Amino acid sequence: MKRIVYQIDAFTAHRFSGNPAGVVINAEGMTEAQMQHLARELNNSETAFIHTTPDDAADATIRYFTPTSEVPVCGHATIASGYAIWKEGIGYRNPIRIRTGAGILAVSILPGTGGCRISMEQGEISLSPALDAGVTHRLLQALGLKQDDIDPRCPVQIASTGHSKVMIGIGSKQTVDSLRPDMAALKQISSEIACNGFHAFSFDSGEKDSLVTGRMFAPAIGIDEDPVTGNANGPLGAYLVANGLAEYTEDRQFRFKAKQGEAIGRTGHVDVKVDISPEGVPTHVTISGEAIDVFRTEIDI
């Protein structure tokens, strides 16, 4: 069967920046091994495989594969999938109800400067207690950081909206940009804390319109560094609200723009919206961004 395959740069309107993702529009009938092999061949941090869903609860199912393993959900590959659906003119309802490993999520296709903008609801918010002092010390060593490099307002803790990341607040953009992690040490820590991603961020973004800049490392799933990560910046929003680091509006929404990828020459931007309860608790996260196609091809699989 001819599989329609896209390469799409997400969280950017400019080719060869942002975060590249593979998208297979018609993945029905593909085996898990075939999906894993194609994801390895494309060698993006994630490739999304879209399957028609034969039920009333969802319009489609997306499965996500890194070059080495399947993951429950991926922000930039979902943004890329929405763009590919728009580009192909597939007649799903809008918002599209997508079944993922993090539950059924709404993906909206909105007008944008490049033709469309994609908005993605994220999964259930989860915030773990701060990591204990011993694990934190080894994590800082693995990242090449000293305790003085850490923003004292920011606990080192795991946050999730479907695919968890460790949040590490750092005082300066220069320090974030200069990180050279020990990937083997990060893999070992991932196995101990059951979290495969480490998101280092700073409020020193270097841009007037961006609240934070960041970098995300996930060597345990074959991603030494992910250029622009929806499933890091989304839960970062919930983390900032939970730790009293967010200024939000009277309608109890916290909105901000996050920059990522600059240090590796693939700058992109994620817009994040966090809904907040009357008690000040983050309740729901939505991320959005632009995308652009790099190529479309067909492969017989």
Query: What positions carry a catalytic annotation?
Result: 46
Task: Please name the helix (run of DSSP H) or strand (run of DSSP E) that holds residue 41, with its range, or none.
Answer: helix 32-42
Eight-class DSSP state of 266: -
Burial 197-214 (b: 16+ CB within 10 A, else e): bbbbbbbebeeeebbbbb
Q: Torsions phi, psi of 250, nearest 5?
A: -65, -30
CA distances from 48 to 114, 208, 223 (A): 21, 33, 15
Residue 86 CA to residue 117 CA, distance in Å, equals: 10
Scanning 158-278, the segments in alpha helix (DSSP H) are 173-177, 183-193, 230-242
CA distances from 288 to 86, 189, 273 (A): 15, 30, 9
Residue 152 CA to residue 199 CA, distance in Å, equals: 16
Residue from 183, 179, 190 nearest 213 by CA? 179
Length of the chain (residues): 301
Burial 69-92 (b: 16+ CB within 10 A, else e): ebbbbbbbbbbbbbbbbbbeeeeb
In which residue are the tokens 């803790």 written? 157
Residue 34 CA to residue 208 CA, distance in Å, equals: 44
CB count within 10 Å of CB 271 equals 17
